[in-house]
Amino acid sequence: MTNSTIFQLGGDLDVRRIGYGAMRLANAPHERSGMTAPIWTAPTDRAESVALLRRAVELGVNFFDTSDAYALGANEELLAEALAPHRDDVVIATKAGVLRPSPAEWIPLGHPAYLRQQAELSLRRLGTDRIDLFHLHRIDPEYPLADQIGALKQLRDEGKIRHIGLSEVTVDEIDEAARIAPIASVQNMYNLTERGHDRVIDHTAARGIAFVPYFPVSGGEHAPLTEVAAELGATTAQAALAWLLHRAPNVIPIPGTSSPAHLAENVAALELELTEEQFKHLAG
């Protein structure tokens, strides 16, 4: 167990262990909450969103997560604009492998040629010649995993992506993918109340692979979380993030927010230290 503030992603990129998930920077502010938020159009408060992303950098965040599926690429364009002044100092992760034919649909598509095309489009939208970290957004059961990872390996061999990641995968799928190309990151849903990927965390930690939990702060609160937060003089969200950081040294939560105040609170969680007793109390 450790609360080191830095993780070396892919063996060569030092990232602070509180990142920023940009998915929610879409549509109007009142449309961003909940599991069914559309994530469909560019933000109506673009200037405020740009300022928020730049404020994140000022606070020390250097790992940002997006996807070609978020607002049909507009989220990548937003990050490119906001982070352009800091491009050499930040790591941007994006994803491909999910179709968005409507605001309510997220449909896996892992055709190798499609993945390569989407990487080319992401390169253009991000304004870069190499993507730092490129996740396969979802494994598509219609195509062999070897073909899907093979497409990403081809992009890596061509110098268009630096590192390959996976999302919503099992230990067996990680091992299968790693036989084809090095895997630098796994992005699965995980938080205090959704802990179905404990085995994946342990597996990735043992292999130096980043584990990037999305939705890292669950919507519910419970007595142990309230108690530990009070002991720390912190918010419940900060205590939940501190628990994730304590869980394993490769865990890099990516909380997203439109609020500068919440952004500052999230980043400050990196400085919290849980005792073993507090960690066990939260884990139940």
| pLDDT, average across residues 139-157 | 98
- Check residue 1 and give its pLDDT: 40
Half-sphere exposure of 101 (CA within 13 A, CB side): 3
- Check residue 276 and give its pLDDT: 97
Residue 14 pLDDT level (bands cut at 50, 70, 90): very high
Q: What is the dihedral of CA 229, 234, 236, 242, to 10 degrees?
A: -90
State how far the Cα of 221 lies from the Cα of 96, in Å rounded to an integer.
33
Residue 276's H or E segment, with its range, is helix 276-283
pLDDT in tens, 184-233: 999 999 999 999 999 999 999 999 999 999 999 986 778 999 999 999 99
pLDDT in tens, 86-119: 999 999 999 999 999 999 999 999 999 999 999 9
Residue 132's H or E segment, with its range, is strand 131-136
Q: Hey, which residues are catalytic here?
A: 70
| pLDDT, average across residues 264-283 | 96
Return the domain boundaries, the chain. 6-221+249-261
Q: In a 10 Å sphere around its CB, with 0-12 CB exposed, 13-18 middle and 19+ buried, how is residue 102 labelled? A: exposed
State how far the Cα of 107 lies from the Cα of 250, in Å rounded to an integer.
29
Distances (CA, A) of 57 to 50, 62, 82, 130, 140: 11, 6, 10, 20, 34
- Check residue 2 and give its pLDDT: 47
Q: In the CATH hierarchy, which fold is given to the domain comprising 6-221+249-261?
A: TIM Barrel (3.20.20)
